[in-house]
Amino acid sequence: MDELDSEIVRLLQTDARQSNRELARRLGIAPSTCLERVRSLTRRGVIRGYHADIDLAALNRGVQALVSIQVRPLNRSVINTFKEFASGLPEVISVFVVAGGDDFLLHVGVRDLDHLHSFLLDRLSKRKEIAGFRTSVIFQQVRNPALSRLDDAAG
C-alpha cells in the first residue's frame, strides 16, 4: 500500500458512507482515480466490507464481558469444535483463539448481570472440554476508529 491507499483506508474507516466524489475531493484526486483505488483495495482484500457501528445497548446488550477459557484436551479438534460452538452463541460478539494461560477469549454482550450469570452457567459450565474460565465485566471501552498501517521494522 502506498500513501494514497493508506489515506483512502483512513478516511473510509472514519466515514465509510461518504461518496466517491467526496472522498476524491478530500484526497485531491480525480473521482475515477479514487474509484479505481477503492476497487483495487477491495479486490486485494484490504477493504473487506463496510459496517455500521451500532450501540450494543440498543440491541439489548447493555452488559459486556470478556471470558477467558481453558479447554482440555488441548488439540486441534477440541479447539475447532469449541470455536464453532462459541461463535454460534447469540451472546458472543467475538471469539479469539489465544496463546498463553488461556486458550480462548470470548467477548460477550448480554442484557444484564443475571443474563451473564446464566450464560456462564447454562452455556459454558456444561461443556465437558472447558477446564476453567474467568470473567471480566467491561465497564468502558475505547476503540481506535481509524487504524493506520505500521511501518516495517528496520533491520
pLDDT in tens, 63-111: 999 999 999 999 999 999 999 999 999 999 999 999 999 999 999 999 9
Buried b (16+ CB within 10 A) or exposed e, 17-33: eeeeeebbeebebeeee
Instruction: Please determine, for residue 136, whether its predicted confidence score (pLDDT) is greater than 80.
Output: yes
Would you place residue 154 in the very low, low, confident or very high pLDDT band (cuts 50, 70, 90)?
Answer: low
Instruction: Please determine, for residue 155, whether its predicted confidence score (pLDDT) is greater than 80.
Output: no
Q: Are 91 and 109 in contact (CB under 8 A)?
A: yes
Instruction: Please determine, for residue 53, whether its predicted confidence score (pLDDT) is greater than 90.
Output: no
In three-state secondary structure terms, 52 is coil
For CA atoms 15, 18, 22, 27, the dihedral sign is positive
Helix 20-27 × helix 3-14 angle, to 10°: 130
**Interatomic CA distance for residues 123 and 108, integer angstroms:** 12
**Pick from 123, 58, 154, 26: which is nearest to 37 by CA?**
26
Alpha helix positions (H), 1-155: 3-14, 20-27, 31-43, 76-87, 113-118
Mean pLDDT, the chain, rounded, equals 95
pTM of the model: 0.84
